[in-house]
Amino acid sequence: MTDPQMVLTERVQQALANAFGPEHADADPLIRPSQFADFQANVAMSLGKRLRRSPREVAEALAAELSDFPGTVEVSGPGFLNITLDDSWIASGAAGMLADPRTGVGTTMPPQTVVIDYSAPNAAKEMHVGHLRTTIVGDSLARIHEHLGNTVIRQNHLGDWGTPFGMLIEHLLDIGEETAVAQLEAGMGTEFYQAARRKFDDDEAFKLRSRVRVTTLQSGDPDTIRLWHVFMDATVRYFNKVYSMLGVTLTDADIAGESMYNPMLEKTCDDLESSGVAVMSEGALCVFPPGFTGSDDKPLPLIVRKSDGGYGYASTDMAAIRYRVHDLKSDRILYVVGADQALHFRMVFAAARLAGWLPDTVSAEHVQIGMMLGKDGRRFKTRSGESIKLTELLQEAVDRASAVIADRGYDDETRDEIAHAVGMGAVKYADLSISHDSEYVFDFDRMLSLTGNTAPYLQYAQARIRSIFRRGGVDPATATGPIVLGHPAERALALQLLDFGAVVAKTAELNEPHRLCAFIYATATAFTAFFEGCPVLKEGVDAETRASRLALCALTLRVLESGLDLLGVPVPERM
Ligand code: ARG
């Protein structure tokens, strides 16, 4: 364990138990970073009050217990403990990280099975910008949980079933399979849907055909199922284009769309009804989980079977949660889905608990994704009003990135590679670096900026470290120190690096990639200060200092690389 805050917490807890009795061993010593020392422990203030002793006296007793601590512990003011770590302690922590193939990142004990439901675009419409964010955040969480040694099961809950498929299949027949496939593969799902919709509204015969088609689809008629596959396969090929541009880890094996649950819905409803969890209300089968009321104070229903006998979104989610607990044996289920579905998920989780399908040992968590806004503060759209095609949006990011690095003298191929990494990195990092539930303004200029908390800044920081090693003719793997801290910027950088493992663990615990982003950004900033204040390769730098600084560079590089990789942000060799 290298995280100083955690080490300190344990040491101060020990001191508390020694000085005031074992009942204080679990008290939170309230360790915070401080501007007067490395850390401050504030526990004496509250404990003094409780023990009716002066906080200063309490603090002094703690300081005495901590006399063998590798650092200085001073009492200040009314009873704060100011703690400064010894340089040698920090240096050996950094050296330990460097020697550790996992760079200070632990593993979840015991490892868990984490089901992550993310991306989940709807096939009957275009994959839209909102799905971009659930895809990017979900993918980062998948990488992080996996890195911590958990078994991650990705579930792409595609909207691939339901009544619109009647008219979609009829429209496909009207325009011909080949034309339809070409359109769908090109990402024209919205246009396809709209054309079908127009006919449905204007043309009685088409409407009738569409209705019949829904029935034949649901009854499993082989011809209709084949047409459904033609439609879905082409649509998924377009989704895969988007995933591969983004470098997202989802594959076809992760597809577990709504259609997959269709055969389970009847039994799902029967079981809910026979156990009394669901009851008939106005012809529909409903669960009324306690604590949910509408504006009129009436209990709110989760409708699992509509009055016409049809199933809907909630029916599928009830079947899905049961499958994920029972068949996939999950310990945690994460739903990375728009914040506007919060009520739906709270009700599904509550209903599943009632049914006994979601035991207390399994946690179901809605990772709420905030809405994407345009620069004007409204829902993100093009000027003409239709939603933006994702492949075009992503291509624009790459083109703009290419312009940003235009003057660096790279050949075309290298430049394309870097532009792709920078463009995709920028789009992804912008989504990840603010808390996932806040609304988010999509702004190319800001996300592609080379300064500030952006992917290009971080990618540049790691590329700069690589160039130090290139220039010095040193392989980073051989830069093992020993680390000796002298300059304040060296010390600050090393202290910052020690937090990596704790930050990754916290990010996974709370499902908040923006924590990892903030840490990586702070690391890059600390490195910049180090780089400006501490020459590495310059003539006159003695061999010992050079070796130590190269080791710090190597550790920083590893942390930046691995941190960005956990976010799914590509790391170009040069920039
Ligand atoms: N397809 C849905 C949408 O676009 C998201 C599905 C999320 N997952 C789930 N299990 N409901 O809104």
Quick: pLDDT tens for 543-571: 999 999 999 999 999 999 999 999 999 99
pLDDT interval class at 386 (50, 70, 90): low
The average confidence (pLDDT) of the chain is 94
CA 162 to centroid of ligand 1, rounded, Å? 13
**pLDDT greater than 60 at residue 382:** no
CA 335 to centroid of ligand 1, rounded, Å? 9
106 or 407: which leads in pLDDT? 106
- What percentage of residues in the chain have a pLDDT greater than 70? 98
Residue 387 has a pLDDT of 60
**pLDDT greater than 80 at residue 129:** no
Residue 389 has a pLDDT of 82
Candidate of 341, 368, 387 to mutate for ligand 1, largest count of ligand atoms within 8 Å of Cβ: 341
**pLDDT greater than 80 at residue 14:** yes
SS3 115: strand
ipTM, 2 decimals? 0.99
482 or 439: which leads in pLDDT? 482
- Pocket residues for ligand 1 (CB within 6 Å)? 117, 120, 122, 157, 159, 317, 320, 335, 337
Q: CA 133, CA 100: separation in Å to the nearest integer?
A: 33
CA 131 to centroid of ligand 1, rounded, Å? 9
Task: Tell me which residue has its CA closest to atom 4 in ligand 1.
Answer: 121
**pLDDT greater than 60 at residue 384:** no
Q: 362 φ, ψ to 5°? A: -110, 130
Chain-centroid distance of CA 230 in Å reads 32
Give the mean pLDDT of 19-26.
90
Matching CATH number, 88-106+401-438+447-575, of 3.90.870.10, 1.25.50.10, 1.10.3470.10, 1.10.730.10: 1.10.730.10
CA 141 to centroid of ligand 1, rounded, Å? 17
- Closest ligand 1 atom to 345 CA: 11
pLDDT interval class at 269 (50, 70, 90): very high
Residue 127 has a pLDDT of 64
26 or 566: which leads in pLDDT? 566
Q: How are beta strands 332-338 and 113-117 bridged, if at all? A: parallel
Candidate of 157, 160, 239, 317 to mutate for ligand 1, largest count of ligand atoms within 8 Å of Cβ: 157
DSSP classification of residue 405 = T
- Compute CA distances 543 → 481, 532, 538, whole Å: 10, 19, 11
Q: Which of 150-159, 246-255, 364-373, 474-483 has the lowest mean pLDDT?
A: 364-373
Task: Tell me which residue has its CA closest to atom 11 in ligand 1.
Answer: 317
Please give the class, per CATH, of domain 4-85.
alpha beta
Residue 181 has a pLDDT of 98
CATH 3.40.50.620, the chain: domain bounds: 113-156+259-372
Burial tier of 216 (Cβ tally within 10 Å: 0-12, 13-18, 19+) = middle
Task: Tell me which residue has its CA closest to atom 8 in ligand 1.
Answer: 157
Give the mean pLDDT of 30-43.
92
- Compute CA distances 98 → 106, 203, 301, 311, 419, whole Å: 14, 69, 55, 55, 31
381 or 154: which leads in pLDDT? 154
Q: Which of 47-51, 472-476, 496-500, 557-561 has the lowest mean pLDDT?
A: 47-51
pLDDT interval class at 373 (50, 70, 90): confident
Helices (H), 356-411: 390-404
pLDDT interval class at 266 (50, 70, 90): very high
**pLDDT greater than 90 at residue 447:** yes
Residue 407 has a pLDDT of 85
Give the mean pLDDT of 36-62.
92
- What percentage of residues in the chain have a pLDDT greater than 90? 86
CA 121 to centroid of ligand 1, rounded, Å? 7
| Residue among 79, 3, 68, 71 at smallest CA distance from 41 | 79
How is the beta sheet containing 80-85 ordered, strand by strand? Answer: 31-33, 39-41, 80-85, 71-76
Task: List beta partners, residue 153.
Answer: 115
156 or 294: which leads in pLDDT? 156
Residue 2 has a pLDDT of 72
Residue 103 has a pLDDT of 97
Task: Tell me which residue has its CA closest to atom 5 in ligand 1.
Answer: 120
Q: Out of 33-42, 360-369, 382-391, 404-413, give the one with best mean pLDDT.
A: 360-369
Question: Over the stretch 517-535, which tens digit does the pLDDT of each residue have?
Answer: 999 999 999 999 999 999 9
Residue 376 has a pLDDT of 75
CA 155 to centroid of ligand 1, rounded, Å? 11
- Closest ligand 1 atom to 131 CA: 4
pLDDT interval class at 385 (50, 70, 90): low
**Looking at domain 113-156+259-372, what is its CATH homologous superfamily?**
HUPs (3.40.50.620)
